[in-house]
Structure 1
Amino acid sequence: MKTSLFFLSAIAGASAFAPANQVSKSTQLDAAELDSLRGVGPETGGKAYDPFGVADMAPLDHLRKAELANGRSAMLATVGWVFPKIWAFPGGPISTTDPIKAHLEADNQWWAQFIVFCAVIEGIKLRGEMEGKSYTGEIDKEAVLDWTGRWAKMNDQQKEDMALKEIKNGRLAMMGWLGFVANYFIPGSCPVPPGF
């Protein structure tokens, strides 16, 4: 555990030596620019939902990348929360289907593998972005990861539809996962099926 904390702190500390961006640019956006973003629709009242003014605090492309990364993680986390309760792997080092207890039962080597896996994925995304590719669903760019080869075969409208579905499903998964966690710690606080 101490070794993993050491490596995490070393990685975090390395960013202190990264060159600072010398361009001072305002992140202030007008309401029309926010309301024209992908993902604004009837479920948000046709306007961007930003009650805390986060769009004024960070570059918009960074916020969109963070939203997509968190949405993708939440989609996997939601499946990971539900799937073991339906079908559990027999045997193995984890003896529970309780997601929180399963995290505590995992060995340090599993956590190390998980951190390395995440670092590899982030490296692939960074390399693709440096090559001019996109992982945020930009229509005019090649996708960083196109496992099935479908993205390259889609027309612009199909790409736009797929990117919109990803944002909306990611937002739904973030809320669903938060509902599972809230219901875990405060039983009955969210309307989730029994046993979840």
Structure 2
Amino acid sequence: MSKSLPFLVKPKQLDGWVGNAEFDPFSLSELLPMAFVRESELKHGRIAMLAVVGFVVSELIHIPGEAYQASNPVDAVNMVGAQPMLQIFAFCGFLESVFHKGKMTMMDMHADGQTPGDFGFDPLNVSKDPAKLAQYQLSEIKNGRLAMMAISGLIHQSIITGHGVPFN
């Protein structure tokens, strides 16, 4: 049985993956390729970590201009408009295509053996020491999961109260 959900069967596909907490209540690991699932988790975790920082910083620093003066970060997204948001999504899509060499489906994204989340960016040479690499990979997974929960809480708190992060 699963350690995290003792009333469910242990998901077998998660064995051997960094950060395995045996948590898969919807059995996604049996329906989708695990490399794709891990890539998705890393991607969403990294975005969530940046989003939490951006959410807090947007309370303290504002760019000049009326469109950038919203006190609630959720309202700020609507004030900026569709065109800047589309530019951000288009740029992210371009980066995604470049990083995966044009392979964008879950079936061929990792067909060449690319490790999920590894884009060859290692300025601190962490990957040279396997013990350090395993520690950093586990830290990234755990911090990404925490950040996904944190940004969800921050957004819902802003929607409910109509204010951003309270600093006083």
- AA in 2 matched with 1:93: A
The match for 2:85 is: 111
| Cα distance in structure 2, aligned partners of 1:56 and 1:153 | 29
Of the three residues 61, 71, 76, the one matched with 2:50 is: 76
The match for 1:6 is: none
Q: For the aligned residues, what is the CA RMSD? A: 3.1
Contact 1:88 1:97 in 2 (8 A): no
Q: CA deviation at 1:134?
A: 4.1
Distance 1:194 1:107, change over 3 A: closer
| Cα distance in structure 1, aligned partners of 2:93 and 2:71 | 27
| Cα distance in structure 2, aligned partners of 1:35 and 1:130 | 18
The match for 2:119 is: 144
Is 1:155 equivalent to 2:129 in the alignment? yes
Is 1:37 equivalent to 2:17 in the alignment? yes
**Runs of 5+ in structure 2 lacking a partner?**
1-8, 103-108
Q: Which digits, 9 at most, give the CA deviation of each residue in 1:91-131, with x for residues without a partner?
A: 36322131111111113331232122111210222129779
The match for 1:48 is: 22
Is 1:194 equivalent to 2:166 in the alignment? yes
Greater RCO (CA < 8 Å, at least 6 residues apart): 2
Query: TM-score, structure 2 length as denominator?
Result: 0.74
| Cα distance in structure 1, aligned partners of 2:12 and 2:30 | 14
**Runs of 5+ in structure 1 lacking a partner?**
1-28, 41-46, 138-142
Contact 1:124 1:144 in 2 (8 A): no
Query: TM-score, structure 1 length as denominator?
Result: 0.64
The match for 1:164 is: 138
How many residue pairs match? The answer is: 152
Identity %: 29
